[in-house]
């Protein structure tokens, strides 16, 4: 770090000296020792390795961290509702149970409402489906009655 700091100070001192035409172009000084190169290189490599290991840790700890982070986000989001219930003398655990049941019911309703278009398909998709897929769907009972199919 000292090498980089000294380089930056030297450059700033050259800029403060005056206009560019008054400054003389100087050749770079040869390195005093090999440590002038290796010291910042090792520091940058250490930071790079740390970042790579942090990424690997986050990748492999995803099964543990994802539920924990989701619970923290949901708890932070729903905390004002629990506090409002506590102001109205409703127990926080009762409010939490009610909110949990409400979220489960909302998720179940959403899955039920969205499953019908996925299973049956849209009318436009039924008309444009190839003949083989229509006859297969008719044979397993998942295709609505069609006019041209001999099986229906």
Q: How many residues does the chain have?
A: 152
With contact defined as beta carbons under 8 Å apart, do 86 and 95 qualify? Answer: yes
Domain boundaries, the chain: 1-18+35-60, 66-120, 122-152
Per-residue pLDDT reduced to its tens digit, 98-108: 999 999 999 99
At 88-138, the pLDDT tens digits run 999 999 999 999 999 999 999 999 888 877 666 665 555 555 555 555 656
**CA count, 13 A, side-chain hemisphere, 120:** 10
């Amino acid at each position: 770090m000292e090498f980089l700091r000294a380089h930056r100070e030297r450059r700033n001192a050259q800029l403060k000296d005056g206009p560019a035409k008054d400054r003389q172009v100087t050749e770079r000084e040869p390195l005093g020792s090999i440590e002038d190169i290796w010291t910042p290189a090792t520091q940058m490599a250490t930071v790079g390795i740390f970042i790579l290991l942090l990424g690997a840790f986050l990748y492999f700890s995803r099964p543990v961290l994802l539920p924990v982070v989701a619970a923290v986000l949901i708890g932070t989001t729903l905390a004002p509702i629990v506090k409002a219930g506590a102001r109205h003398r409703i127990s926080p655990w009762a409010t939490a149970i009610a909110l949990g049941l409400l979220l489960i019911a909302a998720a179940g309703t959403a899955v039920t409402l969205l499953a019908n278009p996925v299973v049956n398909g849209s009318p436009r998709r039924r008309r444009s489906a190839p003949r083989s897929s229509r006859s297969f769907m008719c044979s397993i009972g998942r295709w609505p009655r069609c006019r041209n199919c001999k099986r229906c």
